Structure 1
């Protein structure tokens, strides 16, 4: 103790060296260690007969769902769009916190991830893949049928094999809801026709499906379902460029004058970039093209189309929307029967 008091600088320096040695030793040990595999999760009990089962993650299907030009990979000289061969979407059901920027990790979990060398390598591969994408590839791919990546299916995908529409968070035109509203809260419990676009040209492509003059049969179906609000139109303006998003926000008043007040809460300005995993899963293969999705009351993608509408796709959209509406009504009747029987 006397030696420490006699030379306090040496004592402080030694303590600092010991602290640094413990820190770097711990970091190196964490880099070398591999986390132990988690025990298998027990399967949940099956639902009683006659009840509506909870939505579970679907198994990931092998291979790409869509064979179409992309913003990466080899350049194609010829391409003819084909109907979707199988359902598209995310394997797991969406949550309002997904893709919102919210990080549920604790400080310890963040530190462990920071010193995890495998995660650093994975992040490096993602950045390399993004930097290797040609900037003008999406523009050059517009020469194929105005950017049409696939044709809409003639009928909706079956509910039991359909995959999920991801959650997005953005600002709506409705001042009452404020900023950062989740699309899952709007889509759940209703049949929705979702238009996803970036830019005016892509929005005009989605209007070829949704405009009253282009698809009067769809608006007749909307008018029939407007009483109990079973069918709705949702528009997602995907603008990840900060300057462009700021310009769009300046003209929110003009968008409100263009749309009815009942539609303000269903127009989203999404500022966060779409991840490559989401783009590949839902068929968002060209950011300059508009896409239309038919999403059921459990947020499953039952039908999808890209670019400008064809006459067959217009008829297919109305037919599929009517089918999904009937399925939702049957589920509601089953739910009311269970509530009356006191089973839920």
Structure 2
């Protein structure tokens, strides 16, 4: 018989009995995962939440109605800091897609921050830049600096139908309460920076007059002003949604809200407007209106402002 044909006897391989020591010694997760994290629906925890407003809104330069001379414009063009700031802005805008604003409305409805519950401190607050436009009632040229100075103003920046709905959610409570007050006003700015859209809006001004109440037409501005370099300063990072600002008598932005208003934000605007009206009444020596909210005095009043 050939050596290679000889049958080979297979020895049994001893099997090691199963031990649970491997399981006992295996690392455990630091904490058990939240069972709701993988469940959808209204009870599911939010994966991301909106941050509160973390900085004052506006520009540092006090607005003016004076038209810049050719010399001033040349100085700005020669200013290295100004040119670098504009260059950084243009580079940032070039990296953003065409449908960026539209895509952002799918997340939180375009809302990027939560409005504050209290006023921004006067010494920390920044200015609203001058905005020019045509008044809806008679088509005359007006500017925000002259319109807002000396009054407490709720100002809405509008550009789309969605933005009008956003502003209405913020302003309805406040305007219904303070509309009769002599130191209060509601200003709407229909901002159309696109040349074609601005042209169409100006054509259909008569139709717009039929929609806007008569008592609000004198404070309704139709503007085509370029706001490109102040959008970030004002927090207006999405052209599709509406923005609402509370402006004091010195043209400073003391409160701001964006996109869809929550009940708390609408109530906050109403309360903050009442506080500013009460302060302005004391400055002007006007007898207090019972509709305005009372405010704390002294240190307590300062604690109820942002960025102490």
Tell me the TM-score normalised to structure 1 length: 0.64
User: 1:284 pairs with 236, 254, 263, which one?
Assistant: 236
Deviation at 1:192, TM superposition (A): 0.4
Q: State the Cα deviation string for residues 133-156 of structure 1 (Å, max 9, x = none).
A: 221111111122101111111111
Q: State the Cα deviation string for residues 255-287 of structure 1 (Å, max 9, x = none).
A: 2222233322211111022123x1111111111
Asked if the contact 1:197/1:290 (under 8 Å) is kept, the reply is: yes
RMSD over aligned Cα atoms: 2.5
Q: State the Cα deviation string for residues 128-176 of structure 1 (Å, max 9, x = none).
A: 443332211111111221011111111111222211111111111122x
Asked if the contact 1:79/1:144 (under 8 Å) is kept, the reply is: no
Q: SS at the partner of 1:160? A: coil
User: 1:301 pairs with 237, 249, 253, which one?
Assistant: 253
Asked if the contact 1:113/1:119 (under 8 Å) is kept, the reply is: no
Q: State the Cα deviation string for residues 72-128 of structure 1 (Å, max 9, x = none).
A: xxxxxx75212212322111221124xxxx441239x74x777x5958964655544
- Residues 113, 171 of structure 1: CA spacing in aligned structure 2 closer, same or farther, 3 A cutoff? closer
Higher CA-based Rg = 2
Q: CA separation in 1, counterparts of 2:81 and 2:170?
A: 42
Tell me the TM-score normalised to structure 2 length: 0.71
Q: SS at the partner of 1:143? A: coil
Count of residues in correspondence between the two structures: 239
Q: SS at the partner of 1:154? A: coil
Q: Residue 333 of structure 1 corresponds to which residue in structure 2?
A: 285
Gapped runs of 5+ residues in structure 2?
A: 1-46, 287-308
Q: Residue 121 of structure 2 corresponds to which residue in structure 1?
A: 158
1:135 aligns with 2:98: yes
- Residues 79, 202 of structure 1: CA spacing in aligned structure 2 closer, same or farther, 3 A cutoff? farther
Q: State the Cα deviation string for residues 12-54 of structure 1 (Å, max 9, x = none).
A: xxxxxxxxxxxxxxxxxxxxxxxxxxxxxxxxxxxxxxxxxxx
- Residues 106, 193 of structure 1: CA spacing in aligned structure 2 closer, same or farther, 3 A cutoff? same
Q: Residue 200 of structure 1 corresponds to which residue in structure 2?
A: 161
Q: CA separation in 1, counterparts of 2:80 and 2:116?
A: 40
Per residue, is there more helix in 1 or in 2? 1
Q: Residue 104 of structure 1 corresponds to which residue in structure 2?
A: 69
